[in-house]
Chains A and B, each alone.
Chain A
């Protein structure tokens, strides 16, 4: 079985500051990992994904994440926060390979951006 833990239910940053949202995973084999963003009253949108290629993954809106096997982590970062980044962020994990595997989602981290 796989699982993810998102550290911190809320993260607050100032506009222009570094964004760091933490995600640690547990899996019997190196998994596939994903980050999603959810804006108010909307569904989830896929930000980026790691599927065993490059360990540093770039996504949309200037976000990136690095897969670190030794730390079992997949933290999401953005060099400079923008007010429009305020949203809920979810980390997700699934077993690698094809087939019908369904991702398991973390509990979410709410990003608050102050002017």
Chain B
């Protein structure tokens, strides 16, 4: 049981490049979400999903896309990276009976130069 797995752990991108941050969970959780963490800002929700085929925007969705084709995977796509997207990204999951994000991945530290 691996929990929530994020890859890669570190990434450096050039402005304008695109990439996908991967998130997978093996707990059959319906709810998954993506957050970004910036110094002094706490965690801000980017996108979330309540099940396969269903996604919705969070607080800071601009510049990011998501899809949820399976219960296990919830990738986050950066369409055209900008320096403002330099951050640490966390994926989280929970099952419907839990009242909050219960399981977090270890994060992806992204730098856009």
Contacts and interface: CB of A to CB of B under 8 A. Distances in A.
Contacts of B90: 43-44
B4 A43 contact: yes
A32 B90 CA distance: 22
A84 interface: no
Given A98-B96, A100-B50, A102-B58, A44 B101 contact: yes
Q: Which of B33, B42, B50, B58 has its CB near the most chain A CB atoms (within 10 A)?
A: B42
Contacts of A9: 40
Contact of A32 (B40, B58, B99): B99
Interface string B93-107: 000100111101111
B111 to A, nearest CB: 15
B106 A41 contact: yes
A53 B58 CA distance: 28
A30 interface: no
Contact of A41 (B50, B58, B107): B107
Contacts of B105: 43
A90 B4 CA distance: 20
A108 B35 CA distance: 14
Contact of A34 (B33, B42, B58, B100): B100
B43 interface: yes
B48 interface: yes
Interface string A7-50: 00100000000000000000000001010000001111110010
A86 B31 CA distance: 30
Interface string B75-113: 000000000000000101000100111101111000000
A49 B96 contact: no
Interface of A: 9, 32, 34, 41-46, 49, 51, 90, 92, 94, 98, 100, 102-103, 105-108
Interface of B: 4, 31, 33, 35, 40-45, 48, 50, 56, 58, 90, 92, 96, 99-102, 104-107
Q: Top 4 nearest A-B pairs by Cβ distance?
A: A43-B104, A105-B42, A105-B43, A107-B42
